[in-house]
Structure 1
Amino acid sequence: MGHEDAPTAWEERAAGQATPFRDVRVTGRLAVAGLLLAGAAWVVRGVWEARLALAGEPASGPPDQGGGVHRPLTALEDSYHLVTSLGGGAVLICALLFLSWVVRLRDNARALSGRASKYAGIWVYAGWIVPVVNLWFPRGIVADAFRGSAPGRRLPASVNVWWGLWLLGMLSGVGIVYEDSTDEIIARAYTGVWPLLASDAAVVGAAVAGAFAVRAVTAVQVARMREAAAPRLPQPV
């Protein structure tokens, strides 16, 4: 990440005292990797949905026949189940890596600003799943940590792009958060694939924008920690 690869100046002060900061460079890199992994998984998912649309629905109808009856899956439908399962695993890995980064980001922001975070720690996790608050809490937590790290600095635009695309993918009902079963998604691909592909594009865009946001926020905090940990020269009398 450019200048982030320099030695960790905040590990110890010149006087040999340990600093209160936690290195966010590694967790930031891992979070970026997790986001790109999830984005790649959704690209593959979109490709499979396009393949389903091009293949067309079998004469036997959709996989879910209604009334609890499910016909045997075709080879393509079966592979789509595998793709969605692998995609779910990629999203889980991404979530764990991203949350690990956010936790360290908040801790460092608190040490730099000397004030408590605006959001209680439980919201780092619950903020993603509690209805209504999940529309703004996760972005708010990242923004609050950024402002605590660099007061007066403008929030990177990538943070807002990431969150806007995430909401678009989530609220579309066919993105990462949805209630339909995989078989129902397959039926949608047969009858109208474009909403699915639009939602996939939003999720992929959110992953890419999120990677840029993590890099930008991490870089600003690392610079502030270096500044705070640098030895202070005695002032001339």
Structure 2
Amino acid sequence: MPSRGFLVAALTGLALAALCDLFSIFAGVRYRLTIDGNGGFPTASHREVEAAASLYETAARYQVMLFLPCAIAFAVWFFRMRRATGPLAPDRFRNGPGWAIGAWVVPLVNLWMPYRVAFDMWGAATPLPSDGERHRPRIWPLNLWWALFVFAALFNTFVATKYEDAGTLTEIQDGLVQYILSDALHVLAAAAAAYFAVQLTTMQRSKAMHGPYGMGTPCSVQRLEEQLTD
């Protein structure tokens, strides 16, 4: 059973990343309002524009500085969770534990392979249905996290390309608005990732402690019925 420290480290990394994105949103809005042009020219003074631009660049530096350690913290938790869920249902996994790390670093493959690993972990950690129950695993936390993550990553790449090519004030303003939307998507993706991580960890611990059927195992129910009839 993985230590809670790995989950705490992953959640801390996600929180720090979200805070940097919120700071970037604030700096981006401030910069956008400062260069709100009139006839193609900013209405604010040159010093105000420079101050707003400097704050926005500072926010971007914080995002770059914290990205790698935050990503490593989440990837380590992801790998440890893959090892912990493996014994719960070995037949559910289509790839070895190494892919819990490798899936993140292979270009293009990292757009779908981590989801595949996460889907197998989620299925392995989901309690089996009791007699008469239909097996309907609740996977919307996983799907929500991955949809937001992929869309935010692709949208950020698109926005970065357009912002670098911006040459006019109007194009810079549009690029800032798009960057603000991109940062907002990253905040939502971080929140969804945190919820997914907590839910998966809770499910894994419950199944490891109470057996394949979770807390309401048929064996437990049978023992209770025997005690009541004695």
Q: 1:82 to 1:224 in 2, by over 3 A?
A: same
Which residue does the alignment assign to 1:65? none
Could you tell me how far 1:109 is from its partner in structure 2?
Answer: 1.3
Q: Which string of whole-angstrom CA distances, capped at 9 and with x for unpartnered residues, describes residues 103-152 of structure 1?
A: 11111111222348323444323323433322211122111112122255
What is the aligned length? 201
SS at match of 1:127: helix
User: Which amino acid in structure 1 is aligned with residue 29 of structure 2?
Assistant: A
User: Which amino acid in structure 1 is aligned with residue 209 of structure 2?
Assistant: R
Could you tell me how far 1:223 is from its partner in structure 2?
Answer: 0.3
Which residue does the alignment assign to 1:103? 79
CA distance in 1, matches of 2:97, 2:166: 37
Give 2:89's match in structure 1, choosing from 89, 110, 113: 113
Q: 1:184 to 1:30 in 2, by over 3 A?
A: farther
Give 1:84's match in structure 2, choosing from 55, 60, 66: 60
Which residue does the alignment assign to 2:33? 54
Asked whether 1:75 is paired with 2:51, we answer yes
User: Which amino acid in structure 2 is aligned with residue 91 of structure 1?
Assistant: F
Which residue does the alignment assign to 1:224? 207
Give 1:160's match in structure 2, choosing from 136, 143, 146: 143
Q: 1:108 to 1:132 in 2, by over 3 A?
A: same
Asked whether 1:197 is paired with 2:164, we answer no
CA distance in 2, matches of 1:41, 1:184: 24
CA contact (8 A) 2:122 2:139 kept: no
Q: Which has the larger radius of gyration?
A: 2
Q: Which string of whole-angstrom CA distances, capped at 9 and with x for unpartnered residues, describes residues 32-76 of structure 1?
A: 221121111111111111111111179xx9xxxxxxxxxxx9233
Asked whether 1:31 is paired with 2:10, we answer yes
Q: Which string of whole-angstrom CA distances, capped at 9 and with x for unpartnered residues, describes residues 21-40 of structure 1?
A: x3243212221221121111
CA contact (8 A) 2:141 2:192 kept: yes
CA distance in 1, matches of 2:160, 2:106: 14
Q: 1:116 to 1:164 in 2, by over 3 A?
A: closer
TM-score by length of 2: 0.72
Structure 2 gaps of 5+ residues are 42-48, 129-134
CA distance in 1, matches of 2:3, 2:118: 13
Q: Aligned Cα RMSD in Å?
A: 3.7
CA distance in 2, matches of 1:184, 1:98: 34
Larger mean CA deviation between 214-223 and 91-100 belongs to: 91-100
SS at match of 1:154: coil
User: Which amino acid in structure 2 is aligned with residue 26 of structure 1?
Assistant: G
Higher helix share: 2
Q: 1:143 to 1:135 in 2, by over 3 A?
A: same
CA distance in 2, matches of 1:222, 1:189: 49
Query: Which residues of 2 match residues 175-214 of structure 1 at below 5 A?
Result: 178=160, 189-214=172-197
SS at match of 2:156: coil
After TM superposition, which residue ranges in structure 1, 4 or more long, deviate above 4 angstroms? Answer: 177-185
Q: 1:182 to 1:24 in 2, by over 3 A?
A: farther
CA distance in 2, matches of 1:183, 1:77: 17
Q: 1:197 to 1:51 in 2, by over 3 A?
A: same
CA contact (8 A) 2:86 2:93 kept: yes
Q: 1:181 to 1:92 in 2, by over 3 A?
A: farther
TM-score by length of 1: 0.70
